[in-house]
């Protein structure tokens, strides 16, 4: 465990609100990477991908940079539009 992980782990134990924020940011990062990889593997630009799922390009950009908490509804819409299966895996951050 590196120093940053140790710090986050210790602070999370003492501050439940901090732990929640860290967990949400970890989820946002994982979603960002998965959506970006899916779009890239399909060979689509953000604009093309957004058009496929019926959302603005700015929404895809916000998902891919991790600045939005993508809802399960949004993820389900992406999965349906791209013929993918939505799977959710829960695991503790620390």
Domain boundaries, the chain: 3-81
pLDDT-derived band at 53 (thresholds 50, 70, 90) equals very high
Over residues 25-42, the mean pLDDT reads: 94
> Which CATH architecture does the domain made up of 3-81 adopt?
Orthogonal Bundle (1.10)
Using CA atoms, how far apart are residues 66 and 40, in angstroms rounded to an integer? 16
Contacts of 16 (CB under 8 A, 6+ apart): none
pTM of the model: 0.84
């Amino acid at each position: 465990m590196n120093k940053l992980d140790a710090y986050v782990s210790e602070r999370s134990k003492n501050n439940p609100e901090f732990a929640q924020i860290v967990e949400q940011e970890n989820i946002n990062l994982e979603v960002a990477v998965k959506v970006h990889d899916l779009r890239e593997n399909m060979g689509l630009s953000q604009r093309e991908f957004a058009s496929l799922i019926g959302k603005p390009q700015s929404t895809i950009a916000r998902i891919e940079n991790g600045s939005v908490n993508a809802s399960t509804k949004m993820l389900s819409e992406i999965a349906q539009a791209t013929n993918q299966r939505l799977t959710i895996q829960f695991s503790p951050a620390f």
